[in-house]
Structure 1
């Protein structure tokens, strides 16, 4: 039996524009979400309808949102009854510095029973699952006894304590650079070998680590799990949310030892220090121009290669930087968030506001 365009859930029929493909690339997790919420077994070759109508899709989203809220509230309630855990530097062993992904692989054979309803990641152990939930909920039960800073996961605390103690036991045998954790050394070595084993299934772009592949995939899926509690802006990575939050809190934890200026991010501090020292270690192989940041060199290289990896989903125009893409999209939707305090004229880019002739 064939179903030209029929809803798998309510069996309604209609025009194609009113239906969503269950196995489509734009919603890669839709089949899994239906299976989880409706207890239905869905596969590509089951010869049943492979679309759902938009009303059912909307109801599914409401159900998922409700489940997320329930699970989140349940985990927060359980975690709040626990006292803060204090770990002192002398209690940290070198074994604690090993990244969880560097286990001997025994856990990979275990069934992953715990699933995060926010980002769909699964876990074999409840403790790992709870630590992961902490990332989404913002709870930070692990506290540094030196500066009282709190963290949601032990590996983040251990990395932080290494900044106080200066312990970096993992050293690159090529350039002698040291790292507090083994997984960071493993990623670093790939910069020497050029190895990029992690491939994006959507655009075939390759990455040296899973850490950089995951946020790249988020650019395709549009999923931004980290949300600001103040202005509700969402981000692909937790580090992006952390830096953004400092806009509201006015926190500037990175201080320049030369002129005492403070900055909200390490990236901004390093760029600033380069103005004092003049050190620009990242050099373009084509024109020999040097830069203080590797990311700036990467953007500069696109001038030579003509690479434009950032594409507009509305008109398919491409750009060499994400900044230019965001500014371009603002022209489509008419959003102009930068407003002049003198004449009230608004602009889509901050640079346009700053360049107003006086």
Structure 2
């Protein structure tokens, strides 16, 4: 087994295939990013890399990222220093024989004070409605627009309105498909820079935001804030049709499609429609035939890592979800939630023809076929 990068021979257990599972393109892309070497399958050259070179690749990527972050931090500090120097020069220019009016001096001093406030953490500008504080007056004015409900920036494509212009610019990328920010490690692209920065933390395992209740960590503060709502037990978003409640608004939006039948995401190849974008992406993989996640025990391949994790439980017998009432265990959380309905006695799915109720929607669908004359599948 000869290494593609250093040409040293190594035993099979000390070598990694460039095109192997579970990430068939990840190692290839890292070699391309770090070494500017374009590796192709079946090009006649060695297709394995030794563990020593993989370690060097990881170190090179880590070092490059550290350099980029340091350069960005230094540039921000330099810009801050230049801005402060500029303010100092402007202040000196105010010293004339004829002293300028007081408002002009106050305006300049206010701008310099804003620079200093950024370093002290002081937030002197407070919203009179919700009492939220800000370091800049401009940030306060931008926040106050939320209370007015006025959204002056409208999308010409879908007519959705926004409070701020930058929100409209970000939204337009959802129509154009533009993703200008690309990860240098796996080449994945993003529409927002903040999404790219959060994604890059996944490569290095950085999860600085930790839940104080269950100690679970997240790479983004936004994800932590969403997670904390699970511990409160409050579900403010309620479906007016079946009265089912949800913690997050996006969960309610997705649920409503089960009543309306709306499926806004369409496959461009077979025109099949889906209610969720994630289901469309999963379906599109079936056209490529690529199943990168493979079971080490029975070699069965899967499109998603999540499906592989669930499949492995069939080999290990692991059932992590347990009913607190009858102690029955399940491999999937959704199976546990369906099971709990049998203890509550609530049958939310009702037949419109004979008014018979059922615990599960799948049972209702099977029942309705008896009224239509269609023989249900065994």
How far apart, in 2, do the equivalents of 1:189 and 1:149 lie?
A: 31
In structure 1, the residue matched to 2:283 is: 272
Match of 2:318 among 298, 306, 327: 306
> What's the CA shift string for 1:267-301, capped at 9, x where partnerless?
22223333333333445567654433454445445
**Which of 103, 110, 114 is the aligned partner of 2:123?**
110
Q: CA deviation at 1:128?
A: 6.0
Secondary structure of the residue that 2:173 maps to in structure 1?
helix
* Cα 1:314–1:214 shift into 2, 3 Å: farther
Which residue of 204, 211, 234 maps to 1:200? 211
What's 1:182 paired with?
193
Unaligned runs of 5+ residues in structure 1 are: 1-103
Q: Quick check: 1:212 aligned with 2:223?
A: yes
Question: Normalization by structure 1: what TM-score?
Answer: 0.54
TM-score, with length taken from structure 2: 0.52
| Alpha-carbon distance change, 229 to 167 in structure 1, aligned in 2, over 3 angstroms | same
Question: Residue 175 of structure 1: CA displacement?
Answer: 0.8
Look up the match of 2:155: 144
Shift of 1:254: 0.9
State the 1:183 CA deviation.
Answer: 1.4
Structure 1 residue 252 corresponds to structure 2 residue 266: no
Aligned-pair CA distance for 1:266:
0.5
Cα distance in 2, alignment partners of residues 153 and 198 from structure 1:
28
SS at structure 1 position matched to 2:342? helix
Alignment partner, residue 184 of structure 2 = 173
Q: Extract unaligned runs of 5+ from structure 2.
A: 1-79, 81-116, 368-374
Instruction: Report which stretch shifted further, 213-222 or 147-156.
Output: 147-156
1:270–1:292 CA contact under 8 A, matched in 2: no
State whether residues 127 and 144 of structure 2, in contact with CA within 8 Å, keep that contact through their aligned partners in structure 1.
no
Aligned to 1:90: none
Q: CA offsets per residue over residues 118-173 of structure 1, 9 Å max, x none?
A: xxx95635456567679xx9x86642123423457766543331233343221111
Cα deviation for residue 230 of structure 1 reads: 5.7
Q: Distance in 2 between matches of 1:115 and 1:321?
A: 48
Q: Distance in 2 between matches of 1:184 and 1:285?
A: 33
Which of 334, 337, 340 aligns to 1:326? It is 337
- SS of aligned partner of 1:160: helix
Tell me the distance in 2 between the aligned counterparts of 1:166 and 1:160. Answer: 10
CA distance in 2, matches of 1:130, 1:248: 37
- The structure with the greater share of residues assigned to helix is 2
- Work out whether residues 271 and 292 of structure 1, in 8 Å CA contact, stay in contact via their aligned partners in 2: yes
* Offset from partner CA, 1:205-241 (integer Å, 9 cap, x none): 2223223323322222112343446655432223222
Q: Max radius of gyration: which structure?
A: 2
Separation in 2, partners of 1:320, 1:122: 44
Q: How many residues align?
A: 248
Give the Å deviation of 1:331.
Answer: 2.0
* Distance verdict in 2 for CA 1:114–1:280, change over 3 Å: farther
Residues 1-358 of structure 1: pairs in structure 2 closer than 5 A: 106=118, 109-110=122-123, 113=126, 124=134, 125-126=139-140, 129=143, 142-151=153-162, 157-228=168-239, 232-283=243-294, 289-300=300-311, 304=316, 306=318, 308=320, 319-340=330-351, 345-354=356-365, 358=376
Task: Deviation per CA, 1:27-59: give whole Å up to 9, x if none.
Answer: xxxxxxxxxxxxxxxxxxxxxxxxxxxxxxxxx
Shift of 1:246: 3.0
CA offset digits 1:86-114 (Å, max 9, x no partner): xxxxxxxxxxxxxxxxxx99395426845
CA contact (8 A) 1:226 1:234 kept: yes
Partners of 1:287 and 1:122 lie apart in 2 by 56
In structure 2, C-alpha distance between the alignment counterparts of 1:158 and 1:279, rounded to whole Å: 35
Q: Per-residue deviation at 1:247?
A: 3.6
